Every structure is written in structure tokens, then in C-alpha cells.
Amino acid sequence: MRKLIVAGLAAASLMGGAGAALGQPVVERWGHWDPTWGADPGPPPRAMWRHWRHRENGWYGHVHNCMVREHYNPHRDAYMVGHRWVGCRD
């Protein structure tokens, strides 16, 4: 009986692993975010949704390009220059 249970569990785990490997690819809505860049910035600010509506997969790339500037804030999509916020455009 024990051999039958072990064989059944082994077969189930093999089938489960094959199903996960053959599943659909992961779709990243906002583009690809590399964890080495830091914390995931999340979606664009609500005020910018109209601009990013048909370019959704480019948001993370935009954020990463803007992060090279000092004091970038993804929630505002702007960075600090002196004492004022400047919108990030790339």
C-alpha cells in the first residue's frame, strides 16, 4: 500500500511540474523590472494613465532611465533639481 501511495505522489508531482513548465509565459503589464534596480515602483501615477495607456510595457524602462538622476520619485514621475520638481521625460 505504501509503495502505491509513493508512486501516486511521484506521478502527481511530475505531472504538476510539467504543467507549470508548459504553462503560458508571464506577461509583465508594465514591462520588465529587474530586482537589482531596487523596489518595484508600481504602476504610473493616475494623472499619467492617459499618456501610458498604449505604452504600458514601457513604464518600467522609463522609470529605470529616470532613476539614474538623483532624487527621482516614481509616484510623481519627477525628480528634484535644486528646490523644484521637474517632470521626467526620456
| pLDDT, position 84 | 92
Give me the tens of pLDDT residue by residue for the chain, a chain 90 residues long. Answer: 666 565 666 666 656 555 455 566 666 778 888 889 888 888 888 878 888 888 888 888 888 888 887 788 888 888 898 899 988 886
pTM of the model: 0.61
In this predicted structure, what is the pLDDT of residue 5?
A: 65
CA distances from 88 to 4, 22, 26, 33, 77 (A): 62, 40, 28, 18, 6
The pLDDT of residue 23: 63
In Å, how far from its chain's centre is CA 88?
A: 20
Which residue is associated with the grid cell 527621482?
72
